[in-house]
Amino acid sequence: MSLTTTVIGSLPRLHEDLKKSIKLAIDLQVSIGISIISDGEQRTDMLSYMSNSMHGINKVNEKVFITGKIRPIEEITNSFKVADFLEAKSYIKERGYENKLKVGITGPITFGFSAAINKLGPYKNLRDKELYKDVATVVNKIAKQIQHYDGLVQIDEPGVSAGFLDPNLSEEPLNIATEDLDPKLTSIHVCGKLNPNILKTLGKIKNLSILSLEFAGSSDNVDMLSKSLLSISSKKVGVGCMKVNVLSQEDLTPIEKSVEIVRNISSIVGSNKIAYIHPDCGLRKTSIELATVILKNLKEVSGKVKL
C-alpha cells in the first residue's frame, strides 16, 4: 500500500482568474495522484490571506500591520480562507473527486509577529502574550468553521522554528488556536531547523494529531527528532522529504534520497507513526514546471516506500 501524500498548501498562481486558478490547482493535484489536496492557496501570500479575517489589521500591498486590538470578524465565512475552501470543496464535489481537502491557516506566532514588526498597534511589544492569544482566537474560529464542513486544518507556523517567540511562550497561544478542534482533522506544519525546545512545545499542543516537519532541506532535523522522540510520542509525523527552494531540475531532491529520508524517519518513529509524506514547505515561489515535477516525484516515492 502506497504512503499517503499531501501538499503543504501553496502552489504557484495558475491563472489570473481566482476561481479558475483554484480549479486548475485541484485538477493538477488530483491528476498526479496526491491523496490530500489543497485549494493551492491561489489568492495571495500567507499573511495577506488572513488579513480580512480579523478587526485590528490593515494591509497595504502585501504589508500587514496592526491598527487596533485584534478580534475575529463577525461572519467568519467571509474570510478568504473559508471562502476559498468552500470554492474548492464545491468544485471537488462537482467533479466527483474523492480526495480529502486540507486548508493551511497561518498560525498565531507567525502572523502576530509578522504584523507587529510592521506596527504594534495597542500591544506592548513583540513578546506581548495578548497579541498572540488574540490572533490565536481568530485562527481557532477559522479552523472550527473549516472543520464544520469536514475540512482538514493545518496550522502553519514557520515563525516557531525561525525564533519569532520563545517556544515556551508559544505553547499557550497554540493551544488556544487548537481549542476544541477535532484532533483527527488537525495538524501543525513547522518548517526550518528544529531544536529540543521546539519539539517539546509541539508535543504539548492539544487537539492535533500530526506534526508536519521538514527533513530534506534540514537534514539535522532527523537526528533532532530521534533525540526528542519522547516529547512528541502522542503525535504522528508528516515527513517533508523534498526541497522546495529549487531553481532547476538539478536542485531537486533525488527520488532515492527522498525514499531514504522516509525510511530513516520510519525507523525512528515507527511506520505506524508516519501520517503522510509531503514537500518540505509550500510551493508558492517555485515555478509551475518544477512544482509539478516535485509532486510527481512525491507520488513515485510513495509507491517505492513499503512500510
pTM assigned to the model: 0.96
Helix (H, G, I), strand (E, B) or coil at 33: coil
Rounded Cα gap, residues 307 and 289, in angstroms:
30
Cell numbers linked to 128: 506581548
* Across 277-289, average pLDDT: 97
Cα(41)–Cα(2) distance, rounded to whole angstroms?
26
Residue count (the chain): 307
At residue 96, the pLDDT reads 98
Closest CA to 170 of 198, 196, 150: 198
Q: Cα(54)–Cα(50) distance, rounded to whole angstroms? A: 8
**Domains defined along the chain, listed by start:** 18-304 (3.20.20.210)
CA gyration radius, the chain: 18
Strand partners, 190: 213
pLDDT at 182 over 80: yes
44-63: pLDDT as tens digits: 999 999 999 999 999 998 89
